[in-house]
Amino acid sequence: MLEALSYEFMQNDLIAGVLVSLVSGIIGSLIVANRMVFLAGGIAHAAYGGIGIAIFTGIPIFLGTSLFAVAAALFMAFITINQRENIDVFIGLTWAVGMAVGIILVDLTPGYNVDLLSYLFGSILAVNRDDLYFMGLLFVVILFVITFWYRDILAVSYDSEYAALSGINVKFFYTLILVLSALTVVIAIKVVGLILVIALLSIPVYIAQKLSSSLYSMMLISGIIASVFTLIGLLLSYSFNITSGASIILVSALSLMLFMLFTKLR
């Protein structure tokens, strides 16, 4: 096990796992607090359209996926703000159409036999330097945004009606949270895949919510819990040669069950 840590690819994986976990803890807290889990799930699946576009046109995967996911997030924000009644229809629509676009574009790409599974369930073993830079950059941007606008984001997340009354631009912050969620989904695809990302964004947050008394501590605790789940999952994935995303999610789900059992018994 320890000798594995001396390989560069393994070090990259661990760094990526921790970075993605910390980001997921912060953004996942906002997603859960704002009841956007289904929305974030929609964006995650729609992001496959971006993967398809990137493969078809030959632009970098991260870039294509990011642009497409952010576009999906902006669309979702627009719909949520202006069409509240039909929101779930549009989420479902974006969810499915995004994936359909991706699948067809991959079909149409000549001679490209894409490993669909690695995007659906994570391919952390293929993390490279550029990926790490992108993850690091996003982590810094998110830290900056949260630090600078903490109280506005807190107010919007807790009680958006009152926040609007007190003069906070609720639509701006709502859109900002969705765009950051989209970018988080993009980096998390590398680690757990787009189908499983929603579990990484919500399970650690659910546990942290019970343990914390402020949004700030919920973000921190979620990040730490997610990191632990990811590291254990990665080591299991390496030891038993199983898919990284799936092992991380199972570790998370089992821990959640134990946590719930423990809190019930206490």
Q: Give me the least distance between CB of 244 and other proteins, in Å please.
A: 30
Task: Give the range of 64-72, 85-93, 135-143, 155-163 binding other proteins by CB under 8 A.
Answer: 155-163
Distance CA 225, CA 40 (A): 20
Per-residue burial over 175-211, b = 16 or more CB atoms within 10 Å of its CB, e = otherwise: bbbbbbbbbbbbbbbbbbbbbbbbbbbbbbbbbbeee
What secondary structure, in 3-state letters, does 195-230 show?
CCHHHHHHHHHHHHHHHCCCHHHHHHHHHHHHHHHH
Tokens (6 digits) for 68: 């497409």
Nearer to other proteins (CB atom), residue 165 or residue 254:
165
Distance CA 125, CA 113 (A): 19
By CB under 8 A, is residue 84 in contact with other proteins? no
Task: Give the range of 16-24, 100-108, 124-132, 159-167 binding other proteins by CB under 8 A.
Answer: 159-167
By CB under 8 A, is residue 158 in contact with other proteins? yes
The SS3 of residue 133 is helix
- Of the candidate residues 162, 253, 257, 260, the single one contacting other proteins (CB under 8 A): 162
Task: Give the range of 3-11, 68-76, 162-170, 251-259 binding other proteins by CB under 8 A.
Answer: 162-170
Build a one-symbol-per-residue string for 24-53: x at contacts with other proteins by CB under 8 A, - elsewhere. Answer: ---------x--------------------
Q: Give me the least distance between CB of 160 and other proteins, in Å please.
A: 9
By CB under 8 A, is residue 172 in contact with other proteins? no
- Of the candidate residues 154, 188, 200, 207, the single one contacting other proteins (CB under 8 A): 154
Per-residue burial over 45-66, b = 16 or more CB atoms within 10 Å of its CB, e = otherwise: bbbbbbbbbbbbeeeebbebbb
Q: Give me the least distance between CB of 234 and other proteins, in Å please.
A: 28
Q: Give me the least distance between CB of 114 and other proteins, in Å please.
A: 40
Distance CA 87, CA 42 (A): 11
Q: Where are the alpha helices (DSSP H) in 122-214?
A: 129-148, 150-158, 160-165, 170-192, 197-211
Q: Give me the least distance between CB of 81 and other proteins, in Å please.
A: 15
- Of the candidate residues 18, 19, 73, 168, the single one contacting other proteins (CB under 8 A): 168
241: left (phi > 0), else alpha (psi -120 to 50), else beta? Answer: left
Please, how many CA atoms are within 13 Å of residue 24, restricted to the half-sphere of its CB?
Answer: 34
By CB under 8 A, is residue 82 in contact with other proteins? no
Nearer to other proteins (CB atom), residue 126 or residue 165:
165
The SS3 of residue 166 is coil
Nearer to other proteins (CB atom), residue 89 or residue 151:
151
Binding positions for other proteins, 202-221, rule CB under 8 A: 209, 212-218
Angle between helices 170-192 and 8-33 (to 10 degrees): 150
Contacts with other proteins by CB under 8 A lie at 33, 147-148, 150-152, 154-155, 157-159, 161-168, 209, 212-218
